[in-house]
A = this chain, B = another copy of it.
Amino acid sequence: MTLTKSTAEVEQWGIFELELHGSSEGNPYLDVELTAQFAYNHRVIEVDGFYDGDGVYRIRFMPDTPGTWRYRTQSTLGSLNGIEGTLTCIPPAPDNHGPVAVSNTYHFSYADGTPYRPVGTTCYAWTHQSNELEKQTLATLSGAPFNKLRMCVFPKHFIFNENEPELYPFPCLSRGSSTLDMGKLVRGEASRGWSFDFDQFNPAFFQHLEQRVADLMALGIEADLILFHPYDRWGFATMDAQTDDRYLRYVIARLGAYRNVWWSLANEFDMMRRKTMADWDRFFRIVQEHDPYQHLRSIHNCFVFYDHTKPWVTHLSVQTTGLMDVRQTRIWREQFRKPVIIDECGYEGNIAPHWGNLSAQEMVHRFWVGIANGGYVSHGETYLAPKDILWWAKGGILHGKSPSHLAFLRDILEDSPATGLDPVDGLHPWSEFASAGKPHHSYLTYFGQHQPAQIVVHLPEGERYRGEVIDTWNMTVTPLEEVIECSAVLPLPGIPHQTLLMRRIQEELPNASK
């Protein structure tokens, strides 16, 4: 049966969805292949469809160009094969800038060219909580400064994460223990008792996940979707290779058309004892080959870096464990020639483990260090709270003091040059302060724990600049009175956590018409 759908309208970088009905006999997850080709003039994009249960098959597509697109399905199931139709891609809504990609080597921008400056946060397991709590998380995010969220597809088994989720990604065959066994966790052993039918998926789980990704999209937040992670009691961290690969393709087929999706191959890949480096390479290639939109791809370390020079890695998603330091952002940029996001440099909070008890001031400080070294930093929050509702895992409300300071930072970041802030040398002779900017345009230096009462600046000859002293903690911006030229000594307040921003004065040409 060939069904020709009438023309649908979808905005640029929106989601076109073709819903098909077919047989539910056998195991459609394994038995049925379904793809579609979407064509704009002579350009053809092939996308995977997926089975959504109850005889429903779906194909999702994100058009990147306004105009008329034609499509045609291919399937091993006759009733799904050869379905043709068209869709009209209309211009995007004002708040839709398209997916984010790397721009200018070390930075990011949306598909429409708008710069994107990540100011991320972390709620690993927020989609595995109650509806009430998830709604609260969204309400919190709607008033928070964050435009990226790190979140796991799979539920999480860890300290403060012992509650069972309502939904699992696979049909549950037998339920096991919810007790946290850190020993088994470390050895990569799922707790006994749990079993799942890994030959099928649970559509309700993914429908729920998609709704949450769409909720984030509505808030203008990128969903940095973590595909694997080690903190598991159900067996999702120790599936066989075939299941892993099928899971990846299913997730891509379902979620690839959401413009705000980023693929984070793993949280702490090096803690997943059963996976080899060859597995990670294969996962990356699967994502690279099957995602028609080439969403951003990264992989997050615990102790050891994955080789970020590999071509399928779009940017670094770093955890600064041990003696690693946000200041190294600049070195990693130079080493890998890719954008660096320090997605974990510790969280604001007060729990016992070292990674979960930074002061708000230290959290904000690390953001500024990252930015002044040409990178980006992410937030997390781990304050002890009733019912173990810690933001970093479950969302809810924010208890900490850093977010308002990060909102201040984000405003300054978004006011920075469109090409991004890149490290600059020689701005302060005899000093090693981290400076970033755009040469001959503007320069930013962050002094951190240092408290100079004066600073020497060395600017390009023949250029005139105006300076502002930004108190990153007290959130004030104080213009300097004097015009700054060439080598000068500038006064600073002599207290920690100051940033100096110098912007070039746009000279009017003598006889220029206005």
Say whether B350 contacts A451, CB under 8 Å: yes
Binds B, one of A263-271, A415-423, A452-460: A452-460
Instruction: Select which of B321, B350, B428, B447 is within 8 A of A452 by beta carbon.
Output: B350
Instruction: Select which of B325, B384, B447, B454 is within 8 A of A323 by beta carbon.
Output: B325
A325–B449 alpha-carbon span in the complex (Å): 14
Query: A346 — which chain B residues lie within 8 A by C-beta?
Result: 450
A177–B331 alpha-carbon span in the complex (Å): 42
Query: A321 — which chain B residues lie within 8 A by C-beta?
Result: 432
Say whether B323 contacts A451, CB under 8 Å: no
Say whether B449 contacts A322, CB under 8 Å: no
Query: A447 — which chain B residues lie within 8 A by C-beta?
Result: 357
Is A362 interfacial (CB-CB < 8 Å)? yes
Say whether A432 contacts B322, CB under 8 Å: yes
Q: Could you give, for residues 295-336 of chain A, a 1 whenever the CB lies within 8 Å of some chain B CB and a 0 otherwise?
A: 000000000000000000000000001110101100100000
Instruction: Select which of B331, B352, B496 is within 8 A of A359 by beta carbon.
Output: B496
A432–B346 alpha-carbon span in the complex (Å): 12
Query: A354 — which chain B residues lie within 8 A by C-beta?
Result: 428, 431-433, 450
Q: Name which of A354, A428, A453 has the most chain B CB atoms within 10 A of its CB.
A: A354
Query: A353 — which chain B residues lie within 8 A by C-beta?
Result: 430-431
Instruction: Select which of B384, B449, B456 is within 8 A of A352 by beta carbon.
Output: B456
Is A138 interfacial (CB-CB < 8 Å)? no
Query: A331 — which chain B residues lie within 8 A by C-beta?
Result: 323
Assuming the A-B contacts A322-B432, A325-B323, A489-B352, are A451 and B359 also in contact, with contact meaning beta carbons closer than 8 angstroms in the complex? yes
Query: A352 — which chain B residues lie within 8 A by C-beta?
Result: 428, 430-431, 452, 454-456, 489
Counted per complex, copies of this chain come to 2
Assuming the A-B contacts A350-B494, A428-B352, A496-B362, are A452 and B323 also in contact, with contact meaning beta carbons closer than 8 angstroms in the complex? no
A351–B432 alpha-carbon span in the complex (Å): 13
A321–B432 alpha-carbon span in the complex (Å): 9
Is A253 interfacial (CB-CB < 8 Å)? no
Please name the residue on chain B nearest to A489 by beta carbon: B352
Query: A495 — which chain B residues lie within 8 A by C-beta?
Result: 359
Instruction: Select which of B325, B356, B384, B450 is within 8 A of A358 by beta carbon.
Output: B450
Please name the residue on chain B nearest to A452 by beta carbon: B357
Query: A322 — which chain B residues lie within 8 A by C-beta?
Result: 432
Instruction: Select which of B327, B351, B362, B384 is within 8 A of A449 by beta carbon.
Output: B362
A423–B118 alpha-carbon span in the complex (Å): 38
Assuming the A-B contacts A328-B323, A352-B456, A456-B352, are A451 and B496 also in contact, with contact meaning beta carbons closer than 8 angstroms in the complex? no
A352–B427 alpha-carbon span in the complex (Å): 12
Residues of chain A from 413 to 471 with CB closer than 8 A to chain B in the complex: 428, 430-433, 447, 449-456
Say whether A449 contacts B323, CB under 8 Å: no
Q: Name which of A352, A431, A451 has the most chain B CB atoms within 10 A of its CB.
A: A352
Assuming the A-B contacts A323-B327, A328-B323, are A351 and B496 also in contact, with contact meaning beta carbons closer than 8 angstroms in the complex? no
Query: A453 — which chain B residues lie within 8 A by C-beta?
Result: 350-351, 357, 384
Q: Could you give, for residues 362-387 of chain A, a 1 whenever the CB lies within 8 Å of some chain B CB and a 0 otherwise?
A: 10000000000000000000001000
* Cβ distance A180 to chain B, nearest Cβ, rounded Å: 12
Query: A450 — which chain B residues lie within 8 A by C-beta?
Result: 346, 354, 357-359, 362
A352–B455 alpha-carbon span in the complex (Å): 4
Please name the residue on chain B nearest to A494 by beta carbon: B350
Residues of chain A from 486 to 503 with CB closer than 8 A to chain B in the complex: 489, 494-496
Query: A430 — which chain B residues lie within 8 A by C-beta?
Result: 352-353
Q: Could you give, for residues 201-242 of chain A, a 1 whenever the CB lies within 8 Å of some chain B CB and a 0 otherwise?
A: 000000000000000000000000000000000000000000
Instruction: Select which of B323, B325, B357, B454 is within 8 A of A351 by beta carbon.
Output: B454
A430–B302 alpha-carbon span in the complex (Å): 13
Please name the residue on chain B nearest to A322 by beta carbon: B432
A356–B492 alpha-carbon span in the complex (Å): 14
Please name the residue on chain B nearest to A360 by beta carbon: B451
A359–B352 alpha-carbon span in the complex (Å): 27
* A354-B428, A356-B452 given; 6 more Cβ-contact pairs under 8 Å: A325-B325, A352-B428, A357-B452, A358-B451, A362-B449, A362-B496
Counting from the closest, the 8 A-B pairs by CB-CB distance are A350-B453, A354-B431, A362-B449, A357-B452, A350-B494, A357-B450, A354-B432, A353-B431
Interface residues of A (CB under 8 A from B): 321-323, 325, 327-328, 331, 346, 349-359, 362, 384, 428, 430-433, 447, 449-456, 489, 494-496
- Can you pick out 7 interface pairs between chain A and chain B where the beta carbons lie within 8 Å of each other? A350-B453, A351-B452, A352-B452, A355-B431, A358-B451, A359-B495, A384-B454
